[in-house]
Amino acid sequence: MSIRQAMLALLEDGPMYGYQLRVEFEQRTGSTWPLNVGQVYTTLSRLERDGLVEQVVGEGADHASDDAGHVVYRVTEAGRGEVSEWFTTPVPRTQPPRDELAIKLALAVTVRGVDVGTLIQRQRSATMAALQDYTRLKRSGRAATPDQPEDLAWSLVLDALVFDAEAEIRWLDHCEARLRRAAVDGVRRDARSTPDTSASTAPDRSVR
């Protein structure tokens, strides 16, 4: 996961303490991927262990909250190198993230007794409802009139969610059409073979 790189990238902007990092991250991503403070501190201590960040001692940090005893971190030279490498290297697609829906559908069309048609319809409604929510967020709130760079970042993250949901709905439509075609072909095949020995196939059951 890219929390490590994200923390490093934020620290490039200036020294910060853990809670600040979390706030800054959520400003830009609209708490789409909520971070708990514990995760932030674990990441920071690993980064420190690897020599990518270091604690700021005494002077150097001009945050008033330093006096409140927060541990402030800054990025090291090695850390800067890692950030720049992250930004110049594409995110790999060789190992696609596990897609629960794709796996669910792959099993639904093969395991007996699953009503694939209903599964697809329910999923489409749920994804459409999420898409409606993202769209509401896009047309109101700070993403609608982004005047800060963080607001623009958040509205772009929202766009990513929108395109994602849209792609999922398009894929579901596609699956539905393919299954219906497969079911029609299946019926034709069944009609050619003897009726009493032909077992119904999973796609057949998907037709309502």
Partner 1 sequence: MSAPVLHLDGVTRIHGEGETEVHALRGVSFRAHAGELVAVMGPSGSGKSTLLTLAGGLDQPTRGTVRIEGEDVGALGNAGRARMRRTSVGYVFQAFNLIPALTAAENVALPRELDGEKSRAARRLAMTALEEVGILDLADRYPDAMSGGQQQRVAIARAIVGERRLILADEPTGALDTDTGEEILRLLRARCDAGAAGVLVTHEARHAAWADRVVFLRDGVVVDESGADPVDDLLEPEAAR
Smaller CB separation from partner 1, 44 or 131: 131
Q: How far is the CB of 128 from partner 1 (least distance, A)?
A: 4
Among residues 31 and 125, whose Cβ is nearest to partner 1? Answer: 125
Minimum Å distance from CB 196 to partner 1?
30
Q: Which residues bind partner 1 (CB under 8 A)?
A: 121, 124-126, 128-129, 131-132, 134-135, 139, 162-163, 165-166, 169-170, 173, 177, 208
Question: Taking the complex as a whole, how short is the minimal distance between the CB of residue 134 and partner 1, in angstroms?
Answer: 7
Residue 96 Cβ vs partner 1, minimum distance, rounded to whole Å: 22
Which is nearer to partner 1, 74 or 124 (by Cβ)?
A: 124
SS (H, E, C) 100-124: HHHHHHHHHCCCCCCCHHHHHHHHH
- Secondary structure, 3-state, 28-65: HHCCCCCCCHHHHHHHHHHHHHCCCEEECCCCCCCCHH
The CB-of-171 to partner 1 minimum distance in angstroms stands at: 11
* Shortest separation between residue 136's beta carbon and partner 1, angstroms: 9
CB 105 within 8 A of CB 206: no
Nearer to partner 1, 106 or 129 (CB): 129
For partner 1, give the closer residue by CB, 118 or 200.
118
Closest to partner 1 by CB, 73 vs 171, is 171
Contacts 24+ apart (CB under 8 A), 112-120: 112/202, 113/205, 114/202, 114/205, 115/205, 115/206, 116/179, 116/202, 116/203, 116/205, 116/206, 117/176, 117/179, 117/205, 117/206, 117/207, 117/208, 118/208, 120/172, 120/175, 120/176, 120/179, 120/206
φ/ψ of 16, rounded to 5, equals -150, 160
